[in-house]
């Protein structure tokens, strides 16, 4: 981890300095132009990865933003005589605005993920290309840039383009590094793994995706702007063909698209390969050899070069003794149940089309109280949790947490107001270690605090849930029991006012259940307010202060556990439905 953080800081200035001095070093100008193309692809592939690699929103439309940037510069410089350098800010801003415009619509629709997003971006590319082709922007004749003066930043024009390409490339890599190590990056990685969970943990997914999209488009745009001068003669078919989207994908996949540095590696490898067989006699065989090399590379490094190397590095370094974690347990004396209502639900109704999942539920939960939520399958328990946590918008009714009306707040806002939840089937962020999972939840869900503090707290909650020593393990390496506890650790790390637990005990064996019950008691001892859905009656009776019974979307009974469970009406719905089922 530290190597990953500190090495770039050391190497980067040296590398940048060396590259910046290169045009003066007397190398043939070809190397300027070859390296320019390397920078070009590094910048494009890295910018693509900002959204598509980090957040997993796979785009086939990178050519749209690249092309809009390119045409912005071309039109301004060639048709309106704007000095070339002054066109570059516009070549950034216009594609970024386009991305924000597209994102503002698309990112509101949850279904437009995965391949549908890829399709949409592809379609947008076709539409933009056709518009440019058929309007005076291009009109079909192409734009010839020969009359546009290139500022002499360097002795030669190619040197100037080289320096511009280098500057953009460095800025792009710096941006990717910064994003990858920031809150934004953490949020994007969480979105990549499970967007709904990310939102429920407090990640402002919509804004983050929009920011990543705009950033990605802005970089692609300015790369296009400079490239307009490099190509010299601009045509729609040469700009918007599938080369750009295809190559950025291939480069990122080869290098590792979730790593800030991966796409750069892929870009360097593929660009160099394309140039290595440019000789006239071996051109065709050369193409085939490039294909073979790429196949071999990806078969042996299926997750991409950088992640595979990292994995190997880790395996190599982890032979040293695993760091043991010692965190003093935080002992908080048990508090009595207060008078304040942490949760006030009034007439909570949720419709799915014609189906009434919740039909006006009223429920108050006091501070420090544990309320068990029971009822037969389909009675609306999980829906209630989904509605409180903001996953589904309310159809009607009101919900207040700690006196604050939730209204139509998005889920991440609700999470930040102190509502944390777990999932019946654990939904950890699969590409993050256990520690990173908890850190992410703590960073976005809890009150703002320093990263050191968050880190320590995360270690504390992992230890609290018995996961000490598993900090660096990926969720796939945990068993179901441990993953359930990781869910709890994530929820607790957000320091929630209200904790919603969805069937924490299901699927556990008796020993694990006993362990889990002890854990929930410990949580309660810390004074948390808990609503938990549970089928296991022994646990419900042992843990709850009050039990709420839901049936067919209505609150059927509410009271002390033993009384409610003895209520003949409750027994009848339970025996009649749940037990029979």
- Chain positions 19 to 38 lying near other proteins, rule: CB under 8 A, are 28-34, 36-37
Beta-bridge mates of residue 366: 341
Question: Please, which residue, 105 or 560, has the CB nearer to other proteins?
Answer: 105
Stretch that binds other proteins, among 87-95, 129-137, 402-410, 437-445 (CB under 8 A): 129-137
Binder among 65, 71, 107, 230 for other proteins (CB under 8 A): 230
Per CB under 8 A, 571 contacts other proteins: no
How far apart CA 434 and CA 452 sit, in angstroms, is 17
123 touching other proteins, by CB under 8 A: yes
Is residue 444 within 8 A of residue 187, CB to CB? The reply is yes
Minimum distance, C-beta of residue 59 to other proteins, in the bound complex (Å):
13
Alpha-carbon 279 to chain mean position: 43
Q: How far apart are CA 488 and CA 490, in angstroms?
A: 5
Distance CA 269, CA 298 (A): 12
Q: How far is the CB of 148 from other proteins (least distance, A)?
A: 11
Query: What is the DSSP secondary structure assignment for residue 24, as one 8-state letter?
Result: G
Restricted to residues 53-72, the positions that interact with other proteins (CB under 8 A) are 60
Residues 374-433 that bind other proteins (CB under 8 A): none
Using CB under 8 A, which of 83, 232, 338, 407 touches other proteins?
A: 232
Applying CB under 8 A, the site for other proteins has a residue count of 77
The gap between the terminal CA atoms of the chain, to the nearest Å, is 50
Q: Is 163 in the site for other proteins (CB under 8 A)?
A: no
Residues numbered 248 to 277 that lie near other proteins (CB under 8 A) are 249-250, 253-254, 257, 274, 277
Cβ proximity to other proteins, 132 vs 434, nearer residue: 132
Query: Cα(62)–Cα(122) distance, rounded to whole angstroms?
Result: 8
Helices 451-464 and 480-493 cross at an angle (nearest 10°) of 140
Near other proteins in 266-325, by CB under 8 A: 274, 277-281, 283-288, 290-292, 294-295, 298-299, 302-303
140, 149, 393, 477: which one binds other proteins (CB under 8 A): 140
Q: Residue 464's closest CA among 539, 545, 399, 522?
A: 522
Cα(498)–Cα(389) distance, integer angstroms: 10
Of the candidate residues 1, 86, 105, 425, the single one contacting other proteins (CB under 8 A):
105
Strands (DSSP E) found in 301-403: 341-352, 355-366, 370-374, 396-401
Which member of 116, 313, 332, 514 binds other proteins (CB under 8 A)? 116
The 3 state secondary structure assigned to 165-206 is HHHHHHHHHHHHHHHHCCHHHHHHHHHHHCHHHHHHCCCCHH
From 14-22, 245-253, 366-374, 487-495, give the range in contact with other proteins by CB under 8 A: 245-253
123: helix, strand or coil: helix
Could you tell me which stretch among 228-236, 314-322, 358-366, 475-483 binds other proteins (CB under 8 A)?
228-236
């Amino acid at each position: 981890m530290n190597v990953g953080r500190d090495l770039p800081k050391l190497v980067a200035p040296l590398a940048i300095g060396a590259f910046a001095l290169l045009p003066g070093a007397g190398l043939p100008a070809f190397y300027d132009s070859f390296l320019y193309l390397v920078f070009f692809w590094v910048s494009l592939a890295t910018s693509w990865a900002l959204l598509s690699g980090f957040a997993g929103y796979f785009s086939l439309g990178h050519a749209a933003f690249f092309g809009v940037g390119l045409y912005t510069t071309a039109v301004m410089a060639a048709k309106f005589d704007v000095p070339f350098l002054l066109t570059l800010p516009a070549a950034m801003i216009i594609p970024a605005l386009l991305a924000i415009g597209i994102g503002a619509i698309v990112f509101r629709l949850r279904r437009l993920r995965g391949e549908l997003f890829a399709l949409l971006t592809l379609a947008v590319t076709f539409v933009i290309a056709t518009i440019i082709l058929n309007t005076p922007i291009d009109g079909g004749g192409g734009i010839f840039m020969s009359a546009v003066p290139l500022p002499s930043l360097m002795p030669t024009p190619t040197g100037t383009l080289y320096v511009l390409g280098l500057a953009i490339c460095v800025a792009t890599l710096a941006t990717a590094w910064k994003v990858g190590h920031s809150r934004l990056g953490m949020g994007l990685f969480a979105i990549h793994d499970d967007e709904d969970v990310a939102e429920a943990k407090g990640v402002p997914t919509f804004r983050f995706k929009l920011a990543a999209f705009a950033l990605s488009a802005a970089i692609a745009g300015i790369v296009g702007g400079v490239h307009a001068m490099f190509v010299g003669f601009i045509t729609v078919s040469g700009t918007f063909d599938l080369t750009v989207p295809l190559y950025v994908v291939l480069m990122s996949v080869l290098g590792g698209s979730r790593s800030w540095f991966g796409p750069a590696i892929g870009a360097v490898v593929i660009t160099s390969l394309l140039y290595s067989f440019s000789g006239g006699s071996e051109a065709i065989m050369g193409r085939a050899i490039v294909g073979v090399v790429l196949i071999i590379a990806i078969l042996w490094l299926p997750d991409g070069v950088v992640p595979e190397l990292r994995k190997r590095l880790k395996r190599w370094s982890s032979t040293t003794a695993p760091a043991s974690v010692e965190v003093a347990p935080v002992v908080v004396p048990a508090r009595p149940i207060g008078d304040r209502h942490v949760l006030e639900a009034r007439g909570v109704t949720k419709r799915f089309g014609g189906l009434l999942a919740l039909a006006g539920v009223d429920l108050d939960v006091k501070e420090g109280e544990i309320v068990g939520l029971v009822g037969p399958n389909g009675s609306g328990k999980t829906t209630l949790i989904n509605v409180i946590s903001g996953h589904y918008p309310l159809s009607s009714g009101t919900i207040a947490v700690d006196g604050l009306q939730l209204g139509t707040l998005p889920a991440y806002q609700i999470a930040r107001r102190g509502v944390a939840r777990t999932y019946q089937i654990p939904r950890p962020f699969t590409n993050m270690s256990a520690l990173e999972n908890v850190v992410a939840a703590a960073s976005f869900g809890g009150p703002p605090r320093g990263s050191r503090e968050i880190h320590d707290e995360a270690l504390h909650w992992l230890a609290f849930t018995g996961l000490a020593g598993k900090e660096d393990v990926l969720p796939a390496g945990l068993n179901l029991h441990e993953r359930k506890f990781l869910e709890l650790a994530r929820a607790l790390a957000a320091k929630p006012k209200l904790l919603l637990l969805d069937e924490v005990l299901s699927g556990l064996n008796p020993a694990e259940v006993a362990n889990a019950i002890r854990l929930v008691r410990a949580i309660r001892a810390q004074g948390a307010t808990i609503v938990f859905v549970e089928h296991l009656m022994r646990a419900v009776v042992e843990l709850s202060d009050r039990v709420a019974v839901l049936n067919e979307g209505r609150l059927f009974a509410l009271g002390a556990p033993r009384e409610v469970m003895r209520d003949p009406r409750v027994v009848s719905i339970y025996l009649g439905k749940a037990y029979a089922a």
